[in-house]
Amino acid sequence: MQITPGKILAQINSPEDLRKRDRSELLQICDELRQYIIDNVSVYGGHFGASLGVVELSVALHYVFNTPDDQLIWDVGHQAYGHKILTGRKDSFHSNRLYGGISGFPKRKESPYDAFGVGHSSTSISAALGMAVASKYKGENHRQHIAVIGDGSMTAGMAFEAMNHAGDIPNNMLIVLNDNCMAIDPNVGALKEYLTDITTSHTYNRVKDEVWNLLGKMSNFGKSAQEIVSKIENGLKATLLKQSNLFESLNLRYFGPIDGHDVEYLATVLNDLKDIPGPKILHCITTKGKGYALAEKDQTLWHAPGKFDKITGEIKKKVHATPQPPKYQDVFGHTIVELAEQNPKIMGVTPAMPSGSSLNIMMKAMPHRAFDVGIAEQHAVTFSAGMATQGLTVFCNIYSTFMQRAFDQVVHDVAIQELPVIFCLDRAGFAGADGPTHHGAYDIAYMRCIPNMIVFSPMNEQELRNIMFTTSLDDFKELKQTISIRYPRGEGVMPNWKTPFEKMEIGKGRKIKDGEKVAILTLGHIGNYAVKACEELANEGINPAHYDMRFVKPLDEAMLHDIFQNFDKVITVEDGCLQGGFGSAVAEFMLDHDYSAQIKRLGIPDRIVEHGEQIELHKECGFDPEGIAQAVRDILGREKVVYSSNIVNLTMN
Ligand SMILES: Cc1ncc(C[n+]2csc(CCOP(=O)(O)OP(=O)(O)O)c2C)c(N)n1
């Protein structure tokens, strides 16, 4: 489908084109840019509300600053669609997030305007500071460095670590705080309250306006502007604001709050700030979803709504004639509530992903027992550990990819202290359209190397429920171990998923089917691909055995002895990195016990795999159903037999 940009936007292929336009045209450019985002996302899907909220900022920043020489760094990057469209990717924007298309996030390889690759939050200030220090060191004093960070991302420790450093060393950096009071879900924490206070405080704003007026006059003073700034600092602002402003007390000059949707004013202010040396922060108030009424109203739903009818606002969902399996995240969300209703020790924790993890179900049902701690994975882990020391049963739900942030906390605060925290790692395996920054590729490898860690992955909804039940029982605590339960993004396989709870034996796998010559060992949901592969192979007279190993650690050693005594060809399948993963664990077992079998390991290879639908990526890496079937044929030295209607037709002819 051809999507046509508005009249002026059609002529803008780079920020240089934008900078040639008259300031009076900025408003229309914003309208056209907003419309282009709506037109594209409604048809092709993607993140939505965040980009609409920074349309004016995107235009003003590229209008005022000399990008890409000036470095513009977007935090998280899910809000950078306007930036992408303005920086030469308007015509390829229809391929956003699609297999082989442009990335949904800024990516250094993709464009010189993408100063820093991103996807995980709260990195922008550190990166911008590094660039600012490098520019200073190289004598490139003309260069500007701008980090655009949301109020949600500002809650993370990394952002504070960076500001703490920035306020202490010479650098020329501007932090634009894009404050819309939202993360994906409503933003949480004391900082949010502080930002609201600062925005609404009458005294503060009166003082700020006086300072701002003075600042506004600065442009008339040319070179003496800096002198004026220091006068301002020595006066009213320094005394009054320093005591009352968090950022000022960190030695960052604070400006704002200002309306982040007034593009001309934004341009004026940003232009003024160019002349003010040192680290500074501009607080902009914006509305997530700005310009699309429904997205302004339900900001969580419209964070990434999928395809929708832009006129009616109807979000397009597949309609099925029969009941469908639930998403794993919903099985987690409902099951934790079911268990917690019976067991008062159970608590839930999520770092800023209540709706993504479905912990919001518990937050609603039991607000005092389920916590959104902000974008703070490290804190989430240690906070859970603290509760566990007091005998509570804590389910800490973190996406596999974001858990990478908290590795040390898992080792130091949980495993070494033998605390039975239950980690639920959502979005484990390929994440899909979000791409390499979000693939949950590494958790098997980084969890299985930790002593006292059990690593489990359910093949279906029932296994997820049963492991949650098992680990919530008091005798799990007696093991003095922790567990990582990994499951993928998307649906399971059981429409009737609400099965009665059964206790599982830790370290016990199950045989799915007997077979001969080849044993397929799978971990987790991907085992369902192997079931399909076996069905296809049965048509060709090939009959491999299939085992759902469930646990990478401890491995089901009895089962593995049996497998290696009966099969000399073994295929392992995992939706995780091959290096150090499940297949590696099986190969280590074989070596440690002096077996010698031919092992073929299927999983995520040792390279960055880009974005696309999960099934496209599984196929690319050779572990979709057909890839697994082909691996069996290959290991047996068999050709694929094609029983297609064409062949029948040929025979008949
Ligand atoms: C380390 C990390 N944890 C969680 C996420 C998931 N995530 C993506 S966007 C987002 C909210 C960001 O909020 P904010 O910075 O305020 O930006 P907004 O969407 O409001 O523009 C979260 C939690 C992430 N990208 N990185």
Q: Measuring CA to CA, which residue among 570, 384, 549, 368 is closest to residue 482? A: 384
Q: What phi and psi values does residue 548 have, to the nearest 5 degrees? A: -95, 105
pLDDT bucket at 197, cuts 50 / 70 / 90:
confident
Sheet containing strand 545-548, strands side by side = 510-513, 545-548, 518-522, 569-577, 598-604
User: Active-site residue among 107, 288, 369, 486?
Assistant: 288
Percentage of the residues of the chain whose pLDDT score is greater than 90? 88
Residue with tokens 């003082």: 207
Confidence (pTM): 0.93
Q: Do the annotations mark residue 92 as ligand-binding?
A: no
Stretch 35-59: mean pLDDT: 98
What letter represents residue 342's amino acid?
Answer: Q
Stretch 112-125: mean pLDDT: 98
CA distance 120 to 17: 31
What's the 350 CA to ligand 1 centre distance in angstroms? 13
Please report the atom of ligand 1 found closest to the CA of residue 437.
25
Is residue 405 within 6 Å of ligand 1 at its C-beta?
yes
Is residue 151 within 6 Å of ligand 1 at its C-beta?
yes
Residues 458/462/466/468 CA torsion (nearest 10 deg)? 70
Is residue 93 within 6 Å of ligand 1 at its C-beta?
no
Residue with tokens 């007279």: 541
CA distance 326 to 485: 18
CA distance 55 to 291: 10
What letter represents residue 202's amino acid?
Answer: H
Tokens of 158: 């990394």
365-385 burial code (b ≥16 CB/10 A, e <16): ebeebbbbbbbbbbbbbbbbb
* CA distances, 92 to each of 17, 56, 88, 100, 610 (Å): 18, 22, 9, 11, 17
Tokens of 462: 């029932």
Helix-helix angle 124-137:157-166, to 10 degrees: 30
Stretch 438-448: mean pLDDT: 98
**Host H or E run for residue 145:** strand 145-150
Which of 153, 158, 176, 302 to mutate to test ligand 1, by most ligand atoms within 8 A of the CB atom? 153
pLDDT tens, position by position, 233-265 = 555 555 555 557 899 999 999 999 999 999 999
Q: Measuring CA to CA, which residue among 11, 8, 94 is closest to residue 46? A: 94
* CA distances, 456 to each of 27, 486, 509, 624 (Å): 54, 6, 10, 21
Does residue 97 carry a catalytic annotation? Answer: no
CA distance 307 to 288: 18
pLDDT tens, position by position, 138-195 = 999 999 999 999 999 999 999 999 999 999 998 999 999 999 999 999 999 989 888 9
Tokens of 299: 């900001």
CA distance 321 to 79: 36
CA distance 229 to 218: 8
Tokens of 99: 């297999």
**Which ranges in 238-290 belong to alpha helices (H)?**
242-244, 246-249, 263-274
CA distance 572 to 523: 8
What's the 441 CA to ligand 1 centre distance in angstroms? 20
pLDDT tens, position by position, 503-550 = 999 999 999 999 999 999 999 999 999 999 999 999 999 999 999 999
Does residue 377 carry a catalytic annotation? Answer: yes
Is residue 105 within 6 Å of ligand 1 at its C-beta?
no
CA distance 579 to 436: 16
Q: How many CA atoms lie within 13 A of 442 on its CB side?
A: 15
Which of 375, 407, 426 to mutate to test ligand 1, by most ligand atoms within 8 A of the CB atom? 375
Which of the pair, 196 or 213, is modelled with greater confidence? 196
pLDDT tens, position by position, 355-400 = 999 999 999 999 999 999 999 999 999 999 999 999 999 999 999 9
